[in-house]
Amino acid sequence: MSAPIVLGIETSCDETGVGIVRGTELLANVIASSMDEHARYGGVVPEVAARAHLEALTPTLTEALERADVTLADIDAVAVTSGPGLAGALMVGVGAAKALALSLGKPLYAVNHLVGHVGADVLSEEELELPTVALLVSGGHTSLLLVRDLIDDVELLGETIDDAAGEAFDKVARLLGLGYPGGPAIDRAAADGDPTAIRFPRGLTQPKDLERHRYDFSFSGLKTAVARWVEKRQDAGEDVPVADVAAGFREAVVDVLTQKAIAACTDLGVPRLLLGGGVVANRRLREVAQERADAAGVALRIPPLDLCTDNGAMIAALGAQLAAAGRAPSGLDFAADSTLPVTTVQV
Ligand code: KG4
Ligand code: ZN
């Protein structure tokens, strides 16, 4: 008997994702993004995202079924992100998943978005080796996890105490007048810059910070430091060297992210690091992570980019793992939970 076919729905932020897997085999991964609708605000507007999910869900679902070459009758189970994320956005996916599961008479698994990012890796050719440290970096999260077991034992080592890494890229891009989303814009601007020309602060890396916040992150101080640096130049009537500022800022973010992730691997004796989230699109992040992982004897795994950004396939993959392990489905009386802790893999 072949593995069950699971359909996964993801609507926690601005991507409407529908993915279909057969066990650990990816059949379809269709993503509609409302990013363009948020561009004029410089960040995701929750109400706009929720409405965009409503509009995009049915066409995205239809396209995923087509690409997977299956019909709804072939689906054995439905999985959905129930948290964490934007409440109104999550509700759209949760409502749709409940309706689908109920009408098809199939089990429904409500799963954790962050663990979904880790689950994406089971779709890779090589088997995911555990335990692993996972660094998840996007516009909404910056979390360092210790994953001993994908469906049973996920521990939060640390997270950002203020802005998410992607959010910092977006805010700094905005203050440099580079547009939204900030990550790619900063990347382009930084290409001609000198990353060592300006040394911006590395949040929570001082000895006194490390005692309490060894694996936590902070990016709001960095953003403010960039803003002050730029203002000072402007007040003095000098030109702002945008390329150097972008390169220096990017270097500070990448330095802290990789330093802390590798430190966790070394401290915990876990020689594996998995990256996930939209910020993984940053080439400098991947480069430095690889250098430091090699130096520390850590095996680095980076799923393909369309499985790193928010998507439905990772949710389907996690649902398939739960189904394969014989977990009871979630029923229909759970609700979207915008602050679902990462230790709760399934609701
Ligand atoms: O995972 P994702 O698609 O959606 C969520 O935020 O959940 O991540 C989007 C974030 C945005 O903040 C964007 O600026 C950032 O990822 N990003 C990047 C790059 N490409 C996208 N950040 C740094 N460098 C990039 N090349
Ligand atoms: Zn995400």
Q: Is residue 335 part of a domain?
A: no
By CB atoms closer than 10 A (0-12, 13-18, 19+), residue 196 is exposed
For residue 276, the CA-to-ligand 1 centroid distance in Å is 10
For residue 289, the CA-to-ligand 2 centroid distance in Å is 19
134 and 147 Cβ atoms separated by less than 8 Å: yes
Q: Per DSSP, what are the bridge partners of residue 25?
A: 22
Q: Are residue 105 and residue 145 in the same domain, yes or no?
A: no
Ligand 1 pocket residue status of 142, Cβ below 6 Å: no
**What's the rounded mean pLDDT across residues 63-74?**
98
Q: Are residue 102 and residue 240 in the same domain, yes or no?
A: no
- Name which residue sits closest to atom 8 of ligand 1, judged by CA: 278
pLDDT reported for residue 256: 98
Q: Are residue 154 and residue 292 in the same domain, yes or no?
A: yes
Nearest CA to 110 out of 258, 236, 6 is that of 6
pLDDT reported for residue 42: 81
Question: How many CB atoms lie under 10 A from the CB of residue 308?
Answer: 23
Ligand 1 pocket residue status of 216, Cβ below 6 Å: no
Print the domain residue range for 259.
128-302
Atom of ligand 1 nearest to the CA of 166: 12
Backbone angles phi and psi of 84, in degrees to 5: -80, 165
CB proximity list for 222: less than 8 A, separation 6 or greater: 168, 200, 201, 202, 203, 249, 252, 253
Q: Is residue 209 part of a domain?
A: yes
- Name which residue sits closest to atom 22 of ligand 1, judged by CA: 183
As a residue count, the chain comes to 347
Q: What domain count does the chain have? A: 2
Mean pLDDT of the chain: 96
Tokens of 338: 């915008």
Stretch among 27-41, 162-176, 252-266 having the lowest mean pLDDT: 27-41
Q: Is residue 330 part of a domain?
A: no
Atom of ligand 1 nearest to the CA of 12: 7
CA of 190, nearest ligand number: 1
Query: In this predicted model, what pLDDT tens digit does every residue of 104-124 receive, in sequence order?
Result: 999 999 999 999 999 999 999
pLDDT reported for residue 150: 96
Atom of ligand 1 nearest to the CA of 138: 8
Q: Is residue 296 part of a domain?
A: yes
**What's the rounded mean pLDDT across residues 135-139?**
95
Ligand 1 pocket residue status of 10, Cβ below 6 Å: no
CA of 171, nearest ligand number: 1
Q: Are residue 73 and residue 188 in the same domain, yes or no?
A: no
- Which helix (DSSP H) or strand (DSSP E) does residue 15 occupy? strand 15-22
Task: Assess whether pLDDT exceeds 70 at residue 77.
Answer: yes
Q: State how far the Cα of 43 lies from the Cα of 132, in Å rounded to an integer.
A: 32
Query: In this predicted model, what pLDDT tens digit does every residue of 25-39 receive, in sequence order?
Result: 999 999 999 888 998
Question: How many CB atoms lie under 10 A from the CB of residue 162?
Answer: 16
**What's the rounded mean pLDDT across residues 300-317?**
96
pLDDT reported for residue 1: 62
Ligand 1 pocket residue status of 282, Cβ below 6 Å: yes
186 and 246 Cβ atoms separated by less than 8 Å: yes
CATH code: domain of residue 15: 3.30.420.40
Long-range contacts of 331-334 (CB under 8 A, 24+ apart): 331/108, 332/98, 332/101, 332/102, 332/108, 334/82, 334/94, 334/110
Q: Are residue 270 and residue 158 in the same domain, yes or no?
A: yes
Q: Are residue 263 and residue 138 in the same domain, yes or no?
A: yes
Q: State how far the Cα of 317 lies from the Cα of 305, in Å rounded to an integer.
A: 16
Share of the chain above pLDDT 90, in %: 95
pLDDT reported for residue 41: 85
Which runs of consecutive H residues, i.e. helices, occur in the chain? Answer: 35-38, 46-68, 87-104, 113-119, 165-175, 182-190, 207-213, 220-235, 242-268, 283-296, 305-308, 312-324
Task: Assess whether pLDDT exceeds 90 at residue 219.
Answer: yes
**266 pLDDT tier (thresholds 50, 70, 90):** very high
**What's the rounded mean pLDDT across residues 148-164?**
97
Cα dist from 152 to 62, 130, 322, whole Å: 32, 12, 10
Residue type, 22: R
Q: Are residue 190 and residue 109 in the same domain, yes or no?
A: no
Task: Assess whether pLDDT exceeds 70 at residue 177.
Answer: yes
